């Protein structure tokens, strides 16, 4: 399963690159809140698990400044190539990207002040075990902040197209207890995982997000080209069924129109704690 997921991520790296500006506008509130909860500051050493094309790794690198150090880990080398290109364009020489899986990679002991994991631990089978590994890589009084998605009803940005696809293809399960998009989505579940991983003073909250699109066509292109659970489902559709799905999605997005653009609601879960 892991090998198949990694292959899909490699294939979709180009889509993430094309949609970088819109994804950043979608996810920035969570990046800021994670940095604040983890108390990221000047000169800190930070590990970002599942960094993709460099988010929130690059934002964190700006916060820690040139005397800090940031390491981004991801399993998709093609995504990391984009992350390195972005870092070079910003002159962030103190950030490094490495292809590795946090569930199995050799991680140095007590080497970081902060660990971040934005929408990465939700795809791991044994989250407490991974969190214990990350606990060991933190220095005394080090901090961690990880995120998941909130339950489906709080995330029409993805449930709208899933509902449109529902009558045509078998949808992936949304079991909050199993690895996937809505793993650990229940209130308190992510914090409980941190506690099981050995962290103290754990807190959890929801963060409100908004997916911007100029029109339904742009929204549809972003979701299908960046992948996630929708891309393989859409790929199975014939031309006629695909047109039906697009029409249904367009109609369902109408309540989220704000003037001449669309602002589609989303929510994330954020939990943080201390070693």
pLDDT tens digits, residue range 213-239?
Answer: 999 999 999 988 887 778 888 888 999
Work out how many domains the chain is built from and give that number: 1
Residue-range definition of the domain harbouring residue 121: 2-274
pLDDT tens digits, residue range 77-88?
Answer: 999 999 999 999
3 beta partners: none
pLDDT tens digits, residue range 101-123?
Answer: 999 999 999 999 999 999 999 99
pLDDT tens digits, residue range 26-65?
Answer: 999 999 999 999 999 999 999 999 999 999 999 999 999 9
Strand ranges in the chain using DSSP code E only, listed in sequence order: 45-49, 69-74, 95-99, 112-118, 138-149, 200-213, 257-258, 261-274
CB 274 within 8 A of CB 131: no
State what percent of residues in the chain have pLDDT above 70: 96
The pLDDT assigned to 232 comes to: 83
Per-residue pLDDT, averaged over 116-140, amounts to 96
CATH (domain of 11): 3.40.50.150
CB 165 within 8 A of CB 158: no
Query: Hey, what are 176's tokens?
Result: 């909050």
> Is the confidence at residue 208, as pLDDT, over 70?
yes
CB 155 within 8 A of CB 149: yes
The pLDDT assigned to 7 comes to: 52
């Amino acid at each position: 399963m892991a090998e198949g997921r990694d292959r899909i991520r490699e294939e979709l790296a180009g889509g993430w690159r094309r949609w970088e500006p819109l994804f950043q506008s979608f996810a920035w509130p969570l990046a800021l809140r994670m940095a604040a909860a983890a108390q990221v500051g000047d000169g800190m050493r930070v590990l970002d698990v599942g960094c993709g094309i460099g988010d929130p790794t690059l934002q964190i690198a700006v916060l820690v400044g040139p005397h800090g150090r940031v390491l981004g880990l991801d399993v998709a080398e093609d995504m990391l190539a984009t992350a390195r290109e972005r870092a070079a364009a910003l002159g962030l020489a103190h950030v490094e990207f490495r292809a590795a899986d946090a569930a199995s990679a050799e991680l140095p002991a007590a080497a970081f002040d902060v660990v971040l994991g934005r929408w990465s631990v939700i795809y791991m089978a044994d989250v407490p075990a991974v969190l214990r590994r990350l606990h060991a890589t933190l220095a005394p009084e080090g901090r961690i902040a990880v995120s998941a998605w909130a339950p489906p009803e709080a995330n029409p940005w993805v449930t709208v197209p899933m509902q449109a696809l529902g009558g045509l293809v078998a949808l992936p399960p949304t079991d909050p207890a199993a690895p996937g998009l809505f793993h650990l989505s229940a209130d308190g579940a992510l914090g409980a995982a941190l506690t099981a991983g050995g962290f103290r003073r754990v807190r959890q909250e929801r963060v409100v997000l908004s997916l911007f699109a100029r029109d339904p066509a742009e929204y549809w292109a972003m979701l299908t080209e960046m992948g996630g659970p929708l891309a393989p489902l859409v790929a199975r559709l014939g031309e006629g069924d695909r047109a039906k799905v697009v029409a249904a999605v367009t109609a369902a997005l109408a309540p989220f129109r704000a003037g001449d653009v669309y602002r589609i609601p989303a929510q994330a879960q954020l939990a943080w704690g201390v070693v």
